[in-house]
Amino acid sequence: MSSRITGILTPNITPVDARGRLDEETLRQYVDWLIEKGVDGIYPNGSTGEFVRFSPEERQRVAQVVVDQTNGRVPVLAGAAEANADETIRACNAYGQMGVRAVAIVSPFYYRVSSESVYAFFAEIARHVDVDVTLYNIPLFASPIDVETVTRLASEYPRIVGIKDSSGDVPNMMRMMAKIRPMRDDFSFLTGWDSALAPMLIAGIDGGTNASSGVLPELTSAIFRSVQSGDVSEAISLQYELIEVFDQLMSLGEFPDGVRAGTKARGWDLGTGRAPNTAGQREAVAAGEAKIAGTVQRVLDRLAG
């Protein structure tokens, strides 16, 4: 069995230039910066990367650039969700050939389907891919993956090696771990909900895929290391800082505008994204950037002290 995926894996913003095209050079530089700041992996084509706003060809190019630039320094967990199972299988195998550590697949979206259909979707993928698969539970946007379905998939398909859960539901994650850990010690549990990072880590998960790590990798990494070293009080203290940062990033503009504003505070102009905005929206984001920049600097000062 393969080892677990652990640590903080950053779901990176996808940089675009002034014409809205993928900015490959900036992406390479941003990946280098994240690794230098201590993240444990990179997660291209996630929600923070606006995967639904890029074409399949662009998504594959994003993954290829990230794999090339990481060059084995940290693992790559690539979002491989497409509109149907067949297209998802093709994307998974393409990313596997690039050399990603695993792919992350969101459950069926747009159409809300039953748990049995969620199981059938992932089972079909698991039978036909040549790369490890992590489930991606984000009930805000897609059909939820319940404990019974995760347990069933984990017991039947060795290719399914983990779950990224963005519900923020700590007891539900603990239920999954209680069911799956006894039979699959290699199965990874990751949280995508920043506000629950420290509580989830203390409960025993393996790491996080957190949007705020693209802005303050030092903070999310410090929380992870504190829990690993047994300094729970420090992890909780830092978690309060993370909650404030996360709330600001999520409340500014349309997601992930706030994350882009946060990266701007760190010296990165990653563009404005693919979603059209009104003049009023752009003004509101510009007005909120100073507040985010102030919070980011305060957190950096605390970490430095």
The catalytic residues are: 136, 164
Render 225-236 in DSSP notation, one character per residue. Answer: HHHHHT-HHHHH
For tokens 């002034």, name the residue. Answer: 18
- Measure the CA–CA gap between 115 and 274, rounded to whole angstroms: 32
Dmax of the chain from CA atoms?
A: 54
State the amino acid at position 264 in one-letter form. Answer: K
Residues 6 or more apart from 124 whose CB is under 8 A from it? 85, 89
Q: What's the one-letter identity of residue 13?
A: I
Tokens of 280: 């009023």
CA atoms within 13 A on the CB side of 90: 9
Omega of the bond prior to 256 within 30 degrees of 0, cis? yes
**Residues in Cβ contact with 74 at an 8 Å cutoff, skipping those fewer than 6 apart:** 35, 39, 40, 41, 42
CB 213, CB 259: distance < 8 Å = no
Question: Measured between alpha carbons, how far is residue 52 from residues 80, 141, 273 in Å?
Answer: 11, 12, 12
DSSP structure class, residue 69? H
User: Is the separation of the CB atoms in 3 and 206 below 8 Å?
Assistant: no
Count of residues for the chain? 305
